[in-house]
Structure 1
Amino acid sequence: MEAVNNFELSAMDRWEIGNSSPLIIAGPCSVETPQQLDETVRGLVANGVKVIRGGVWKPRTRPNSFEGVGHIALPWIKEIKEKYQVKFAIEVASPYHVEKAFEFGIDLFWIGARTSVNPFAVQEIADSLKGVDIPVLVKNPVNPDLALWIGALERINQAGIKKLGAIHRGFSNFNDQVYRNSPTWQIPLELKTRYPNLPILNDPSHICGRRDLLNSVAQMAMDLNFDGLIIESHVNPDQAWSDAAQQVTPEVLGKMIAGLHIRKVAIENPVFQSQLDQIREQIDQVDRELLEVISRRVRLVEKAGEYKKLNNVAIFQIERWKKVFESRPEWGKALQLNHEFVKELYQLIHTESIKKQEEIMEQKMSEEEK
């Protein structure tokens, strides 16, 4: 994993695929027909989009779903690139895809979530990219695994790709009742913290799965200083052959982009900076107090573990856990804390509590064996 720290990453504005900030890549989930592609791109260009995305090969969850029209779309794309003077990005999932995309002058590749989860597939693509100079974006794996995401980026980088970036498209979570893929913002933020020179785009289309949520997720990405967005847009979204519910028309997309509030990264006002520093000092103090309280809880858990050990009682007590799991979110609600946040917090606390008590039980077994 250390090799990733030596990434020689180009800044996004040196990729020569558009000078807008944030970078917007938009286009249909799938390239369906020459007419659909032409009308969609014409609308996007009219709304300021200079980099188009379009699915040629579509990896689908179940068989017999529309899997893209395939390589027959590539001549249509080449013609559109020349007609509207735009750059074009497509997803590649095999060396064959890479070969055909190069043949028709595709400008940018992305590796999808179903591919980045498989190191063998990523390595095959990496090997096919050796000796070329093209921007490559890597979507996060389907499952929330930062190491796997970094590993995919490493493989592409080690193939000689320097114009490298990441796409945050959310993570599979069957418990999520709002999003198609949970944003789980802490994972891309951790990636951005570790590798600040790595451009990261947000994919609100695949996070949301429905168009009414797109604006809020796109704005959150901007608030978190993401480098851009990759969004699905179709001239007639309701008639799209794939992912109809999450696509918007070029006109709607243009209004959404125009309405995004792009915040400053640097603080220029010294008075504001001083006030912010004071608030941060208070946060630091609260964090110290919070950790002290957590430490006290851990000591109490260890004490409970010792008692269970002496009395030969099982670690996990389902009734006790149910009581904790039901009561703490209610306590948090009374303190104006988010219910889901408190629930997730206590799941982490419970995992650590079990771990501590397991250590105590293992120590007992070791002592008895002696």
Structure 2
Amino acid sequence: MISKLFNKKETDSVQPFIISGPCSVETPEQLFQTVEALYEEGVRVFRGGVWKPRTRPGTFEGVGTKALPWIKEVKQEFDIEFAIEVASARHVEEALNVGIDILWIGARSTVNPFTVQEIADSLEGVDVPVLIKNPINPDLGLWLGAFERIHAAGIEQTAAIHRGFSNFREKVYRNSPNWQIPIDFRSELPQIPMICDPSHISGKRQLVPIVSQKALDLNFDGLMIESHINPNEAWSDSDQQLSPKALGLMIRSLQTRKVHFEEKDKQQKLNEIRDQIDQADHDLLEAIHQRMALVEKIGEFKKLNNVAVLDMDRWKHILQTRPDWAREMSLNPTMIEEMFGLIHQESIKRQTEIIDPKN
């Protein structure tokens, strides 16, 4: 079951690997009923929180070690594989002692190299798949570093879990998807399977199908989705969990994509359009080059007349007008605003180098 995730061929079409189960294992009855219902929907690899690291104390932090025998029992009853989160060497030892099949390292652990190293040390000589969630902040280096530590311990079967990033400005999602980070990860480690956790990105169950489809459209290898037999009564993260029936309906409604065109004529057509994109990108770089030449010209003029680099009125004017221009061209104004922010930073840098070369 889990082996399918790691034996995926590059030429295969996207067939999502599904891991599902409750945010937290609460009672033997809740676990059994959830697993039974999900099993009927075709799920064969399950998840469940045993130890729940929470942002603030006083909230439900999982039932702990006493949940492990319950998991062992449902594993035997349904012949399934089960994944839990571990955050210490003790967690690893207790999980392996009861035959847990898959371990995952959570976002709050990934952010701490000391914690990841402790887990890695405890895994030496063990053959168990390890899934690693991205750190809570958008730091690609921390994510990659966690894999380097786990691989150094001899663990060969690893996969990444994209669960989004904390962002106090986020208005739609619980955690900002920031899809570019997992894309950059795959550029660095293309052999590592990538799983999306739409539950923690969404924070709301109605968004889970949307995020799941987005992940499949980006050729993710699988989904880890929270499901509870009675989501509204869940002890943790009730708003983002789906019922087993709703999960089954969602999975069957997802659209899968081929990785490559199979017909040569269609691939040729795609290549022709990509050639046009390459030319458009070259023209775009030429325009930026011309803009920077004008920026340097302004820098020389300011230096000659002893004028400061930054003119806030001018920057406000750019920040107001460029997004408006973008809207007129059916472009995303937020993207254009961010792009011109980067261009403005480079403009200030170049003018500063002209006016005050010592800095």
TM-score, structure 2 as length reference: 0.94
1:110 counterpart SS class: strand
Letter in 2 for 1:250: P
Offset of residue 11 of structure 1: 7.5
Between the aligned partners of 1:208 and 1:273, the Cα distance in structure 2 is 35
CA gap 1:108/1:361 in 2 versus in 1, 3 angstroms: farther
- 1:22 equivalent to 2:42? Answer no
- 1:12 equivalent to 2:1? Answer no
Between the aligned partners of 2:240 and 2:42, the Cα distance in structure 1 is 21
Between the aligned partners of 1:308 and 1:27, the Cα distance in structure 2 is 63
Greater CA drift, 41-50 or 290-299: 290-299
2:46 counterpart SS class: strand
- 1:115 equivalent to 2:109? Answer yes
Between the aligned partners of 2:352 and 2:24, the Cα distance in structure 1 is 51
Between the aligned partners of 2:36 and 2:255, the Cα distance in structure 1 is 25
Letter in 2 for 1:270: K
1:150-182 Cα offsets, whole Å, 9 max, x none, are: 011101111111001101111112222111111
Between the aligned partners of 1:81 and 1:358, the Cα distance in structure 2 is 65
Letter in 1 for 2:316: K
Aligned to 1:219: 213
Aligned to 1:228: 222
- 1:308 equivalent to 2:302? Answer yes
Greater CA drift, 312-321 or 52-61: 312-321
- 1:354 equivalent to 2:348? Answer yes
Q: Is the 8 A contact 1:11 1:197 kept in 2?
A: no
Offset of residue 37 of structure 1: 0.7
2:319 corresponds to which of 319, 325, 332 = 325
1:90 counterpart SS class: strand
Aligned to 1:32: 26
Offset of residue 144 of structure 1: 0.8
1:109 counterpart SS class: strand
1:300 counterpart SS class: helix
1:194 corresponds to which of 188, 203, 214 = 188
Between the aligned partners of 2:159 and 2:351, the Cα distance in structure 1 is 42
Aligned to 2:262: 268
Q: Is the 8 A contact 1:57 1:69 kept in 2?
A: yes
Aligned to 1:69: 63
Offset of residue 246 of structure 1: 0.7
Which consecutive residues of structure 2, in runs of 5 or more, have no partner in the other structure? 9-13
1:294-320 Cα offsets, whole Å, 9 max, x none, are: 111222222223333333433333222
Between the aligned partners of 1:245 and 1:110, the Cα distance in structure 2 is 22
Aligned to 2:252: 258
Give percent identity, aligned residues only: 58
CA gap 1:285/1:154 in 2 versus in 1, 3 angstroms: same
Aligned to 1:168: 162
Between the aligned partners of 1:359 and 1:69, the Cα distance in structure 2 is 59
Between the aligned partners of 2:354 and 2:28, the Cα distance in structure 1 is 67
> Aligned pairs, how many?
352
Letter in 1 for 2:353: E
Offset of residue 247 of structure 1: 0.6
CA gap 1:360/1:159 in 2 versus in 1, 3 angstroms: farther
Letter in 1 for 2:89: P
1:86-110 Cα offsets, whole Å, 9 max, x none, are: 1000111111111111111111011
1:251 counterpart SS class: helix
TM-score, structure 1 as length reference: 0.91
- Runs of 4+ aligned structure 1 residues displaced above 6 Å come to none
Letter in 2 for 1:12: L
- 1:128 equivalent to 2:125? Answer no
Letter in 1 for 2:303: K
Offset of residue 361 of structure 1: 4.1
1:205 counterpart SS class: helix
**RMSD between superposed Cα atoms in Å:** 1.7
1:219-244 Cα offsets, whole Å, 9 max, x none, are: 11111111100011111111111111
CA gap 1:323/1:265 in 2 versus in 1, 3 angstroms: same
Between the aligned partners of 2:342 and 2:29, the Cα distance in structure 1 is 52
1:119-169 Cα offsets, whole Å, 9 max, x none, are: 111111111111101000111111111111101110111111100110111
1:282 corresponds to which of 276, 287, 290 = 276
Q: Is the 8 A contact 1:11 1:199 kept in 2?
A: no
Which consecutive residues of structure 1, in runs of 5 or more, have no partner in the other structure? 1-9
Offset of residue 74 of structure 1: 0.6
Offset of residue 362 of structure 1: 4.2
Aligned to 2:11: none
Q: Is the 8 A contact 2:6 2:157 kept in 1?
A: no
Aligned to 1:295: 289
Between the aligned partners of 1:306 and 1:232, the Cα distance in structure 2 is 59
CA gap 1:289/1:246 in 2 versus in 1, 3 angstroms: same
1:137-156 matches, within 5 Å, as 137-156=131-150
Letter in 1 for 2:317: K
